[in-house]
Amino acid sequence: MSHWSPEEQRKLLLESITEYAIFMLSPDGLIESWNRGGERIFGYTEQQALEKHLDALYAERSEAGTALRDARDRGRSEEEGWRIRKDGSRFWASSVVTAIRGDDGELLGFAKVTCDLSERRASEERARLSETTRSSCSSPTAASPPGTPAPSGSRATAPTRSSASTSRSSTCARTSSPASRRTSCAPPPATATSRTRAGGCARTAPASGPT
């Protein structure tokens, strides 16, 4: 046989749960009970939390009214969003609000369960940033299509040997007659200077008159 009354058993059960904030609300949304999980997550002691309105725990106060209204109309409301601690810091949480009704259907209040999801959200954010970084590093640099002008400030490429040859061929092709083409394209005749240089290298005797 149990040594505790049903009320004491419920209180002991709630006090043993510290991972979740579990508390009761009046039909108007005022906090009527508080557990150690609520103190750990939100920072309020039981004495400080009692008679506070639910919206004091929401970063956006209007969201508290929406959660109560949805639970009243549909029997249950589930949501995730920003909550606020006693010290003013925000954290991401999951909440479930359940309407409590009597046998005659009258609304007696609400049961509220909140779970701190800060660690899960931080882990998901790190994974997302890591994936974004890997994607940006692995993306190949797009090659410029043919005919794309060089970027501003870049140095023009020097003409190649083939380009110079093409220019010379074009000059010959524009000559009006075969004779003139031979004249313009043939190498220049050797000058006196060039003959003198050649003679010096071959040790040719200089030309002289009869002795």
pLDDT of residue 139: 60
Q: What is the pLDDT of residue 5?
A: 77
Quote the pTM value.
0.57
* Most distant pair of Cα atoms in the chain: their distance: 157
211 residues of the chain, pLDDT tens digit each: 567 777 777 777 777 778 899 999 999 999 999 999 999 999 999 999 999 999 999 999 999 999 999 999 999 999 999 999 999 999 999 999 999 999 999 999 999 999 999 988 888 888 888 888 877 776 655 445 555 555 555 454 444 444 444 444 444 444 444 444 444 444 555 444 444 343 444 444 444 444 4
Beta bridge partners of 112: 23, 97
160-168: long-range contacts, CB 8 A cutoff, minimum separation 24: none
At residue 66, the pLDDT reads 96
Cβ atoms within 10 Å of 128's Cβ, excluding its own: 10
Going along 73-177, which residue ranges are E strands? 76-84, 90-101, 107-116
- Identify residue 82 by its one-letter amino acid code: W
Sign of the dihedral defined by the CA atoms of residues 82, 85, 89, 93, in that order:
negative
**Which residue shows structure tokens 């006090």?**
15
Residue-level pLDDT at 127? 84
- What local confidence, expressed as pLDDT, does residue 168 receive? 46
Contact 94, 112 (CB under 8 A): no
Instruction: Write down all domains in the chain, each with its CATH number in brackets.
Output: 6-122 (3.30.450.20)
Whole-number Å distance between alpha carbons of 80 and 152: 52
Taking the C-alpha atoms of residue 102 and residue 100, their distance in angstroms, rounded to an integer, is 7
Question: Three-state SS for 205?
Answer: coil
